């Protein structure tokens, strides 16, 4: 399976897990526009969701390595990208990354991803999970044959919500 096929399959797995975690809530997949150029979709993210009074903007990424380069996340800081929704009341923009080789799924608030980038880092690294300078959330997950089954309800835990508010990841 090619790397891009893993990315599309991860989006499918994410959708399945999100719906399992939050039944009877709104989740909408924004289709990539058809263009002749790779990575040119102008959508701010892959999914829009409504849950627990929050609007979620969720961009899903997959990588085999222990890092994901910001060049692979153009949705973060382009015009009408995730950065434009940081600080909007009750909106939670996140980047969800599956580190395939390491069997980990993380959620990075867009505000934290932008901070990492503005601090001069070229990528988001799994090593940053242990760096208190940045708030990266490891999503509780269970290994299946290839993919992980992830528990996204953790994003609504009191600890995560309070830490995100303290760090001004969202209002």
Segment 105-143, tens digit of pLDDT:
999 999 999 999 999 999 999 999 999 999 999 999 999
pTM for the model stands at 0.92
How far CA 72 is from CA of 16, 38, 165, in Å, comes to 23, 11, 27
In the chain, how many domains are there? Answer: 1
Could you give the CA distance from residue 45 to residue 85 in angstroms, rounded to a whole number? 11
Cα–Cα distance measured from residue 10 to residue 5, given in angstroms and rounded to the nearest whole number: 8
The answer to whether residue 152 is domain-embedded is yes
pLDDT tens, residue by residue, 138-163: 999 999 888 899 999 999 999 999 99
38: domain CATH number?
Answer: 3.40.1350.10
Q: Residue 103: inside a domain, yes or no? A: yes
Query: Has residue 171 been placed in a domain?
Result: no
Is the Cβ–Cβ distance between 82 and 43 less than 8 Å?
Answer: no
pLDDT at 5: 86
> Rounded to an integer, what distance in angstroms lies between the CA atom of residue 47 and that of residue 165?
22
Tokens representing 14 are 């994410």
- Asked whether residue 37 carries a pLDDT value surpassing 70, the answer given is no
Do the beta carbons of residue 95 and residue 113 sit within 8 Å? Answer: yes
Distance between CA 101 and CA 44 in Å, rounded? Answer: 27
Residue 117 backbone class (left: φ over 0; alpha: ψ -120 to 50; beta: rest)? alpha
- Residue 53: give the domain boundaries: 3-166
| Residue 70 located in a structural domain | yes
Within-domain flag for 54: yes
User: Does a structural domain hold residue 74?
Assistant: yes
- Phi, psi (deg, nearest 5) at residue 50: -120, 130
Inside any domain, residue 156: yes
3-state secondary structure 100-137: HHHCEEEEEEHHHHHHHHHCCCCEEEHHHHHCCCCCCE
């Amino acid at each position: 399976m090619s790397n891009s096929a893993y990315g599309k399959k991860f989006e499918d797995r994410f959708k399945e897990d999100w719906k399992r975690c939050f039944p009877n809530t709104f989740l909408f997949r924004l289709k990539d526009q058809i263009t002749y150029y790779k990575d040119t979709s102008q959508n701010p993210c892959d999914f829009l969701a409504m849950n627990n009074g929050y609007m979620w903007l969720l961009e899903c990424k997959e990588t085999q390595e222990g890092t994901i380069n910001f060049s692979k996340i153009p949705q973060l800081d382009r015009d009408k990208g995730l950065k434009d929704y940081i600080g909007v009341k009750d909106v939670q923009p996140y980047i969800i990354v599956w580190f395939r080789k390491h069997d980990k799924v993380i959620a990075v608030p867009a505000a934290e991803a932008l901070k990492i980038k503005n601090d001069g880092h070229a990528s988001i690294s799994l090593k940053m999970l242990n760096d208190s300078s940045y708030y990266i959330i490891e999503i509780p997950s269970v290994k299946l044959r290839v993919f992980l089954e992830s528990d996204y309800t953790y994003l609504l835990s009191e600890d995560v919500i309070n830490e995100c508010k303290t760090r001004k990841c969202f209002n």
